[in-house]
Each structure stands twice: as C-alpha cells, then as structure tokens.
Amino acid sequence: MQDHPSGAKYIDTKPQRSLFERLTALISPEPENRAELLEILHDAHERNLIDADALSMIEGVFQVSDLSARDIMVPRPQMDVIDLTKPIEEWMPEVLETAHSRFPAVDGDRDKVVGILLAKDLLRYYAEESFDVRDMLRPAVFIPESKQLNVLLRDFRANRNHMAIVVDEYGGVAGLITIEDVLEQIVGDIEDEYDFDEEEDNIIPVSNGSRGVRWRVKALTEISQFNESLNASFSDVDVDTIGGLVANHLGRVPRKGDVFDIDHLRFEVLRADARQVHVLLVEKLRPSPALESMS
C-alpha cells in the first residue's frame, strides 16, 4: 500500500521481481543485434520456456523484414491467368480445375494485366443473360520486385487487398504474390482442400549469370525425384526427403543461411524455422583443375 499525492491510499498491484531476477537483469548483457537476440530465443526454446511453434513464428517475423517480393512470388510462367481475348468457355475449365479465389485478367499478353477477377463473381455468368466479365474486374495492384514483405503485408491489411502483381524494372510482369504467401513466411504453410503437392514445382531451375543454373528445391522433395533431376545418387534408406538428408548431414535442424557441401553439390538454406527446413538452393560444384587434369 502506498500514499497517493492526494493523500489517498492505493495498493500497488504491479508484480515485484525477486532479488535474483533484478541481479540477473543487471549482470546479463542485453542483445546488441538480431543474431544475439535469436540466440537467446533458441536458448529459451531449449530450456522449454517457449515452444517450437512460438519460436518459429518469431523467426518468421524477422525473416519477413529481410525478404522482398521477388523472393517468394509466383513466377510469371507459373501464374494462372485468364485471357479476356478468349471466350469464357475456353478458360472456365482452368478456373474450375485450379480453384483459386482470384485470377489476374490479361488482355492477350501476360504483361497486360487489366484487373483481378474474383472467382465468386463468375457465378453471375450462369445467372445473367448479358454477362460481361470486364465489368466484374477489380483494380490490380502493381508492386516492384524489391518491395519488402513487411511493408507489403501492412499495405495488404490497410487496403484490404489479397493479391498484387509484381513487376520488374522495365514494367514487365515478373510474377504475383498474395497475402497468404506473406503470412506463410510467419506461420508456415497454410494448406486448404485445394492445395496439391505438385511434383513439377519441387525443383525449379534458377539462372545466376556466370555461375550457371542453380535449383530452388523444396525440402519435402523425395530423394528419388531429386536424384533423377540433378543426376545425384543419395540413399533414401534412412530418410525419404532432401530436407531429412541435409538435417542428418548437419546433425541438427538447418538454419536459414547455412551453406554446406554434400558430395558434388552445394546446399544453401533459403527458408527454415525452428522445426524444419523448407527451401534449399542447390548448385553443382565444378571440379578443381587438378582433378580435371587427372581425368
């Protein structure tokens, strides 16, 4: 109980820290950068002060501020679009098959995005005799490839948008990104009844100038598919996926930024959380000149 300046008495309900807690706060240095803060959080997880899900989401929040739209966008060739120059009957089966809630609408060319079509608006096609799909379009939002994900998420929430078209420095369409794509960086994959494990998307070639082709590989890719695509010969006796293979190699859960070699391949962890690795960048190592001269 303490005295108030007016003379009244009140009870201080603020929890008092113990002497040990106050001494610890004085002795223990505060983290000076993000890496030190993450080390403290990992230590807290190891001591069961926070669970893996909480640690994963905290790491995801940090990761969102480091990534840009180009890092997670759906590339232009993989975009599901509707072409307004074609009759509805031609692209309606694709709308039904993919079951997306939104589609970029293009005018004959993927660089000419004229709006966003909500799948639910197509119900009017079956109910109205005079249906013009162009009247159903919502405005498209265009963003640069360099837009940071934390800024994009704030814009999505403020403007109540769910999809943005990503453009390159020349104004051409580079891909698309949704609010779900951004949120998945924090909470992990959000799967619904329309999500499928498309094997052709597990391994995607990425050009890198003088270094040639590298591959973005989903960690859940089966080792047999990985071996076939990259001409590797990893065993799948102990583990089934490439993510399990790299975890066994390191002897721990891989962390974002880890770079290591296995046989003739170099692996870089692009996405990971406290529980598992999600995406890897794989590059074939060139043989040394000494080895080439011996062959």
Look at residue 92 and give its three-state secondary structure.
helix
70-187 and 199-290 share one fold: no
Mean pLDDT, residues 286-290: 59
pLDDT at residue number 187: 76
> Which residue has better confidence, 55 or 151?
151
CB < 8 Å & 24+ apart, contacts of 221-225: 225/199
Res 118 pLDDT > 50? yes
The region of weakest confidence among 16-25, 70-79, 212-221 is: 16-25
pLDDT at residue number 260: 94
Q: What is the pLDDT of residues 127-149, one digit of tens each?
A: 777 788 888 899 999 999 999 99
* Residue 16: band (very low, low, confident or very high) from pLDDT cuts 50, 70, 90: low
pLDDT, the chain, mean = 80
Res 72 pLDDT > 60? yes
Map out the domains of the chain as residue ranges: 70-187, 199-290
Looking at residue 205, its amino acid is: P
Res 198 pLDDT > 70? no
* Residue 166: band (very low, low, confident or very high) from pLDDT cuts 50, 70, 90: very high
Where would I find the beta strands (DSSP E) of 14-123?
74-75, 82-83, 102-106, 113-118
Res 41 pLDDT > 60? yes
Q: Residue 113's beta-bridge partner residues?
A: 106
**Cβ pair 104, 92 in contact under 8 A:** no
> Which residue has better confidence, 159 or 196?
159
**CATH T-level topology, domain 70-187:** CBS-domain (3.10.580)
Res 204 pLDDT > 50? yes
- Write the DSSP symbol of residue 29: P
The region of weakest confidence among 84-88, 152-156, 276-280 is: 276-280
Helix and strand numbers, DSSP H then E, in the chain = 11, 14
Block residue for tokens 């709308």: 95
The region of weakest confidence among 6-15, 90-99, 168-177, 263-272 is: 6-15
Res 257 pLDDT > 70? yes
* Residue 36: band (very low, low, confident or very high) from pLDDT cuts 50, 70, 90: confident
> Which two structure tokens, joined as six digits, stand for 243?
């993510």
> Which two structure tokens, joined as six digits, stand for 257?
């930024």
Res 271 pLDDT > 90? no
Instruction: Round to whole Å and give the CA distance between 115 and 272.
Output: 34
- Exposed/middle/buried for residue 219 (C-beta within 10 Å: 0-12, 13-18, 19+): buried
For the full predicted model, state whether its pTM sits above 0.75.
Answer: no
Res 49 pLDDT > 70? yes
**CATH T-level topology, domain 199-290:** 3.30.465
CA angle 191, 192, 195 (to 5 degrees): 75
